[in-house]
């Protein structure tokens, strides 16, 4: 009896070692490397770093500068994102945390430009085989609105609406998704001003709320209409918090009005994020 039991245990131990080795090296090990390389390649392509895409001349630079691109301090002439490598890495890290942490909800960006950050979010879902989340793109697809200083004094004198380079059509953004093979039913477009589209947007729950509307009005609209849909342990990411005064003021006003005490975490000296820990 003891011999049979010993042999059984030895066989179980052998099977366990085989399964452990398979899962560690054949499945998770190899797949993890492929995922990492795919997402790194996507990041480098989307930011233009891989082909050293020169910037638009509007900010005074004409040559590719790796440091500027890393921190998102220039506007690429061809690349599909201007948020830079560090904010891309932050987006990937937080997306991973909600996926593996089981935080329910979709991903959204309010203010998408050429769609790069949203393409990256869709690529992350693809890399991990996630089929039960969507990526929402909210944008006018016609540039930024003219400021309304009577209602939003913090936007007085704002000039973002005068930059033609910030107006990217919805068709162009869709083509950009198609170039990566990522335009499908998990990608949803909300076209129009935030005040018109976000209140009635058919979004039930969010796990990531990424704000890139620049202005006080745009930032406040996104928080006002979407924050209550953000799950507990979900993340708010604010792209231009440290460099656009109107954006920062809107975030500070909203947090103060709602009594939000969640710690603000710095990303790269420009963007910030916090994790939602309470419903109110």
For the chain, domains (ranges, CATH) are 85-275 (3.40.50.150)
The whole-angstrom separation of Cα 275 and Cα 264 is: 8
Is the pTM higher than 0.95? The answer reads no
The whole-angstrom separation of Cα 47 and Cα 239 is: 15
The whole-angstrom separation of Cα 39 and Cα 25 is: 20
Q: Which tokens go with 95?
A: 């997306």
pLDDT at 5: 63
The whole-angstrom separation of Cα 181 and Cα 201 is: 25
pLDDT at 25: 45
Residue with tokens 């380079």: 165
Return per-residue pLDDT of the chain as tens, 280 residues: 565 565 667 677 777 766 665 555 445 657 888 899 999 999 999 999 998 989 988 777 789 988 989 898 888 999 999 999 999 999 999 999 999 999 999 999 999 999 999 999 999 999 999 999 999 999 999 999 999 999 999 999 999 999 999 999 999 999 999 999 999 999 999 999 999 999 999 999 999 999 999 999 999 999 999 999 999 999 999 999 999 999 999 999 999 999 999 999 999 999 999 999 986 6
DSSP 236: E
- Kindly report the number of other CB atoms within 10 A of residue 275's CB atom: 17
pLDDT at 3: 56
The whole-angstrom separation of Cα 191 and Cα 112 is: 11
pLDDT at 21: 54
Terminal-residue alpha carbon distance, the chain: 63
Distant-in-sequence, close-in-space partners of 237: CB < 8 Å, separation ≥ 6? 90, 91, 94, 208, 209, 210, 211, 267, 271, 272, 273
Nearest Cα to Cα of residue 213 among 265, 263, 147 = 147
pLDDT at 22: 53
pLDDT at 4: 57
């Amino acid at each position: 009896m003891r011999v049979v039991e010993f042999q059984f245990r030895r066989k179980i131990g052998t099977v366990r070692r085989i399964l452990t080795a398979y899962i560690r090296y054949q499945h998770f090990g190899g797949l993890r490397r492929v995922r990492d390389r795919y997402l790194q390649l996507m990041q480098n392509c989307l930011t233009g770093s891989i082909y050293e895409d020169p910037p638009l001349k509007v900010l005074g630079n004409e040559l590719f500068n790796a440091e500027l691109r890393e921190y998102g301090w220039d506007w690429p002439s061809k690349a599909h994102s201007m948020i830079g490598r560090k904010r891309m890495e932050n987006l990937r890290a937080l997306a991973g945390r909600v996926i593996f942490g089981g935080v329910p909800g979709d991903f959204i960006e309010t203010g998408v430009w050429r769609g790069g950050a949203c393409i990256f979010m869709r690529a992350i879902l693809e890399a991990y085989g996630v089929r039960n989340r969507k990526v929402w793109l909210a944008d006018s697809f016609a540039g930024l609105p003219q400021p309304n200083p009577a209602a939003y004094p913090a936007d007085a004198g704002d000039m973002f609406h005068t930059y033609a380079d910030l107006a990217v059509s919805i068709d162009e953004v869709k083509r950009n998704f198609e170039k990566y093979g990522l335009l499908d039913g998990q990608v949803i477009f909300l076209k129009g001003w935030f005040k018109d589209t976000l209140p009635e947007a058919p979004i039930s729950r969010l796990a990531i709320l990424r704000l890139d509307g620049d202005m006080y009005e745009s930032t406040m609209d996104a928080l006002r209409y979407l924050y209550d849909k953000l799950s507990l342990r979900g993340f708010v990411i604010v792209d231009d918090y440290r460099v656009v005064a109107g954006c920062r003021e809107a975030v500070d006003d909203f947090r103060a009005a709602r009594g939000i005490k969640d710690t603000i975490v710095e990303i790269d000296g420009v963007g910030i994020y916090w994790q939602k820990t309470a419903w109110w």
